[in-house]
Amino acid sequence: MLRDHPAPTRVAIAVEPEPKAGLRRELGVRDLAFFGFVCMASPRWIPAAAHAGPASVTVWLIAGLFLGVPLASSVSALMAKYPEAGGLYAWTRNDFGPAHGFISFWLYWIGMAFWFPSAAIFFLSSAAYTLGPSYAYLADSRAFLIGGSLAAIWIALGSNLVGLKTGKWTENGGALAVVALAAILIAAAAIRWGHQGPATPLNFVPKLDWRTAAFWAAIAYGMTGIEVLGMMNAEIRSPQRRVKSAIWVTTSSVAVFYATATLALVVLLPARMISDVRGIAQGGDAVGRVLAAPWISAIIALLVVISGFGAFGGFGTALSRMPFAAGIDHLLPDAFARIHPRWHTPHIAIVTLGIVSSSLLLLSQLGDTMQVAYQELVSLMLIGGFLPYIYMFFSAWKAGRKGAAAAGLAVTLVCLLCSVIPTADVRQVWWYEGKLAAGAAAMVGSGWLLYRKAAL
């Protein structure tokens, strides 16, 4: 079993003891807030939300209330109850046993391994479109997207491989880039509204439509991610004093970011004209026209790329702590429990995540167009991402957060259903659904087989 950290002493000390596992406490309160923000606030969901219309602003706020708040409450309680490395893995293992702990970690880890290539494709495509017509062809180039995605994944993971003292600046920079991007969109939208009014009629009442069900799941998914702070519990300075406020500030800030950035985009452009992938580029063009500064598109493209690196670094760092904890429990090879003697990071776990993400990126391209392959990655990411929340909310129930657990669990189950509904871009529905079923079965089955092998 994992060992708890020493109980906090009543005597003031200059330096907090390092965790026995060998990890270093490098995250202060500012780093913690930036870390959580960059993992949650992603520009990739803004164009899709804006395309659905102003009602998405209301949906963001609903998602924040019925999923973001339950998550924040649950994670806060579970981090206090189990102050050890591993986050979701440790919570589930302690409440339901090692088998369930391993399965929950594996599903989350694999789901996020699908997130890496899908996010990389979005960030690179969006940046290419934003740079202008001379570079737009790159967004349709499979070689550019695959090669660039592989480079982005490994550069971001590499910056955190050498330690949080260095790697945390990737996350901090990514968070600041997201804030700057939102500020530019909001400022231009305010000017446009004052001079011409909004480009889209502002109707904030949502309409239910099963043809866009996967989109609603993606909206909810955009409000998740605060659980990554639990995975970093052993590397936070004075976690008992700082975690709770950081969780609530981050969650509320993310909800405001999504709602205001989406509103800004529909004020700048007619919703029906906003592309899910090219929406940021279209917004950049609109900002350039409003501010009479066409060069600003290049700045927006740079901010999109920086935000992507920050998200890759944040998730890559946090995710590596779960196989590290499983390695300490001897449920994975002992190599996963190793800490690099110089960098003090679980380097084997980080490198393994990079290898798996890179492999999934390449495998997803078999037999489909880039658009459908991207949608498959997103659906598998949603399935792998939401399934472990079932465990987490049951753990929150046991920790006394019954209201949060019930609300979060209900939203999670609805999102899982929405995740498997194909979009209008899918022509071969049975082939698409078959790949999703095979992918989901492979995620669960591989986790079970790995656990059984380790338990023998």
Q: How far apart are CA 101 and CA 92, in angstroms?
A: 5
Q: Is 443 part of any domain?
A: yes
* Residue 356 pLDDT: 81
Q: How far apart are CA 353 and CA 109, in angstroms?
A: 8
Question: What are the counts of helices (DSSP H) followed by strands (DSSP E) for the chain?
Answer: 18, 0
Q: Is 22 part of any domain?
A: no
Residue matched to tokens 């979701």: 88
Of 81-85, 149-153, 234-238, 408-412, the range with the lowest mean pLDDT is 234-238
For residues 214-240, give the mean pLDDT: 78
Indicate the pLDDT class of residue 304, thresholds 50, 70 and 90: confident
Q: How far apart are CA 380 and CA 29, in angstroms?
A: 33
**pTM of this prediction?**
0.81
* Residue 239 pLDDT: 58
% of the chain beyond a pLDDT of 70: 82
Residue 334, judged by CB atoms within 10 A of its CB (0-12, 13-18, 19+), counts as: exposed
Of 80-94, 273-287, 364-378, the range with the lowest mean pLDDT is 364-378
* Domain total of the chain: 1
Instruction: Give the residue from 428, 322, 284, 307 showing the smallest Cα distance to 105.
Output: 322
CA distances from 43 to 11, 91, 175, 282, 441 (A): 44, 30, 11, 13, 30
With a CB cutoff of 8 Å and minimum separation 6, the contacts of 339 are 21, 22, 23, 345, 346, 347
Q: What is the CATH number of the domain that holds 382?
A: 1.20.1740.10
**CA 230 to chain CA mean position, Å:** 14
With a CB cutoff of 8 Å and minimum separation 6, the contacts of 56 are 49, 50, 206, 219, 262
Q: Is 5 part of any domain?
A: no
Q: Which domain holds residue 303?
A: 29-455
Q: How far apart are CA 318 and CA 350, in angstroms?
A: 9
For residues 165-193, give the mean pLDDT: 86
Q: What is the DSSP letter of 83?
A: -
* Number of other residues whose CB lies within 10 A of the CB of residue 414: 17
* Residue 214 pLDDT: 64
Of 144-148, 192-196, 387-391, the range with the lowest mean pLDDT is 144-148
* Residue 9 pLDDT: 37
Q: Is 153 part of any domain?
A: yes
Indicate the pLDDT class of residue 1, thresholds 50, 70 and 90: very low
Q: How far apart are CA 330 and CA 2, in angstroms?
A: 10
For residues 319-344, give the mean pLDDT: 78
Is it the case that residue 98 has pLDDT exceeding 80?
yes
Per residue in 205-220, pLDDT (tens digit) is 877 666 566 677 878 8
* Residue 155 pLDDT: 76
* Residue 137 pLDDT: 74
For residues 118-125, give the mean pLDDT: 79
* Residue 426 pLDDT: 60
3-state SS assignment for residue 384? helix
* Residue 403 pLDDT: 92
Q: Is 4 part of any domain?
A: no
Instruction: Give the residue from 98, 344, 83 showing the smallest Cα distance to 230.
Output: 83
Residue matched to tokens 């955009």: 222
3-state SS assignment for residue 27? strand
Is it the case that residue 300 has pLDDT exceeding 70?
yes
Of 146-150, 284-288, 385-389, the range with the lowest mean pLDDT is 146-150
Per residue in 76-92, pLDDT (tens digit) is 899 888 877 778 888 99
With a CB cutoff of 8 Å and minimum separation 6, the contacts of 430 are none
Indicate the pLDDT class of residue 148, thresholds 50, 70 and 90: confident
* Residue 6 pLDDT: 42
Q: Is 24 part of any domain?
A: no
Q: Is 242 part of any domain?
A: yes
Is it the case that residue 427 has pLDDT exceeding 70?
no
Indicate the pLDDT class of residue 157, thresholds 50, 70 and 90: confident
Indicate the pLDDT class of residue 192, thresholds 50, 70 and 90: very high
